[in-house]
C-alpha cells in the first residue's frame, strides 16, 4: 500500500484522523483492526476516531466514521465539523455543503475554523427515567441525537467519578445491546452549563462530544425552558453552541456550532498499523 495522506484534526478537543478516500487509497481488507491500530496513542497517530471521506452521487461527499475501537458510529457532531472543514480546505466542497452519514444527510457552513452543522431531529426522547445501579437508583434523561445519549444533571461535574458512572450506565441492561453514551451536566452561572462525556467506542471520557452537547442542550430546553442558543462548556475548555427554533413546546431546526482545527498533516506509513 502507498503512503496514505491524512489530516489530524480537533473539534473542541475531540481528535480525529481524516482521510480523503474518494480514490480508494485505504485498501486494507479489514478496516476495524486498521482503525484500532492507527488510533492507538503512543504506538501510532492516536485519535478518538477515524473519518473516511468518500464519493456521493447525491451530495458533496459521504463519510464513514469509526470510533477508536473500530466500531462504526452513525453520527459524531465534532467529527462532522472536522469533516466539513477538511472538505472545504481540500476543495472537495464549498463553504456551504451537504454530506451523507448513517444518521442522514448533514448540512454544514464553514466560516474560518468555526463550523455550524445541521443536526437531525432527536428521537426516542425519554425524560426523567430511573435506572437501578449497584449504588442505588439514578434518574436521567435519554434520547438519540444521531447516537444514543444519557444525560444526568449533577451539582458539580468535576466531583463525578465519570469512569465508574459512565461504565455502569453505558452497559446498563436498559440500553442493551447497543449501549449508550453518558453525559453529566451542571450549571455554571449566567446561563452557561458544563458538560463531561463518557463515550462508547472510546470507552472513556473525551474532551468533548458534539452529539452529547446537542442531547444536553435539548434536555435543558425541554426541562428548563432554556432559549436558543444553549451554550455548554466542554472538558477541553471549548464552548459549543446548540441552535434551535421553538414553537410552543416543539423544537426544530437543530444546529451545532464550534471549532474544527487542523493540528497537522502527514502520511501514514504501513508501520503505523503493522505492529
For the chain, the domains span 4-113+261-272, 123-257
CATH topology (fold) of 4-113+261-272? Diaminopimelate Epimerase; Chain A, domain 1 (3.10.310)
| pLDDT score recorded for residue 67 | 95
Number of alpha carbons in the 13 Å side-chain half-sphere of residue 38: 29
Instruction: Give CA–CA dist 42/124, Å, rounded.
Output: 38
| pLDDT score recorded for residue 190 | 85
Selected from 3.30.565.10, 3.10.310.10, 3.60.10.10, 3.40.190.10, the CATH number assigned to the domain covering 123-257 reads: 3.10.310.10
- Residues 68, 95 contacting (CB under 8 angstroms): no
- Report the chain (275 residues): mean pLDDT per 10 consecutive residues: 91 96 88 96 97 97 96 93 98 98 95 95 94 96 96 97 98 96 95 96 95 96 94 94 91 95 97 94
Instruction: Give CA–CA dist 233/41, Å, rounded.
Output: 25
Instruction: Give CA–CA dist 239/191, Å, rounded.
Output: 12
Place of cell 496514505: 4
| pLDDT score recorded for residue 224 | 92
Catalytic residue annotation: 76, 209
Amino acid at each position: 500500500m502507498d503512503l496514505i495522506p491524512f489530516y489530524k484534526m480537533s473539534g473542541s478537543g475531540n481528535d480525529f484522523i481524516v482521510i480523503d478516500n474518494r480514490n480508494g487509497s485505504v485498501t486494507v481488507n479489514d478496516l476495524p483492526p486498521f482503525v484500532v491500530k492507527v488510533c492507538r496513542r503512543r504506538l501510532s497517530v492516536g485519535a478518538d476516531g477515524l473519518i473516511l471521506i468518500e464519493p456521493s452521487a447525491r451530495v458533496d461527499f459521504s463519510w464513514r466514521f469509526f470510533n477508536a475501537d473500530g466500531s462504526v458510529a452513525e453520527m459524531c457532531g465534532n467529527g462532522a465539523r472536522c469533516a466539513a472543514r477538511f472538505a472545504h480546505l481540500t476543495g472537495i466542497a464549498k463553504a456551504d455543503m451537504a454530506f451523507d452519514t448513517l444518521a442522514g444527510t448533514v448540512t454544514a457552513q464553514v466560516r474560518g475554523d468555526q463550523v455550524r452543522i445541521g443536526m437531525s431531529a432527536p428521537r426516542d426522547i425519554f425524560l426523567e427515567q430511573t435506572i437501578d445501579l449497584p449504588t442505588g437508583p439514578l434518574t436521567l434523561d435519554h434520547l438519540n441525537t444521531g447516537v444514543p445519549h444519557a444525560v444526568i444533571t449533577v451539582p458539580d461535574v468535576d466531583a463525578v467519578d465519570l469512569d465508574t458512572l459512565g461504565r455502569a450506565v453505558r452497559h446498563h441492561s436498559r440500553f442493551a445491546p447497543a449501549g449508550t453514551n453518558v453525559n453529566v451536566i451542571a450549571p455554571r452561572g449566567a446561563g452557561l452549563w458544563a458538560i463531561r462525556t463518557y463515550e462508547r467506542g472510546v470507552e472513556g471520557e473525551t474532551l468533548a462530544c458534539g452529539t452529547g452537547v446537542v442531547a444536553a442542550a435539548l434536555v435543558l430546553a425541554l426541562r428548563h425552558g432554556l432559549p436558543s442558543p444553549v451554550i455548554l462548556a466542554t472538558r477541553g475548555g471549548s464552548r459549543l453552541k446548540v441552535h434551535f427554533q421553538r414553537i410552543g413546546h416543539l423544537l426544530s431546526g437543530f444546529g451545532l456550532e464550534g471549532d474544527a482545527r487542523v493540528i497537522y498533516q502527514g502520511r501514514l506509513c504501513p508501520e503505523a498499523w503493522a505492529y
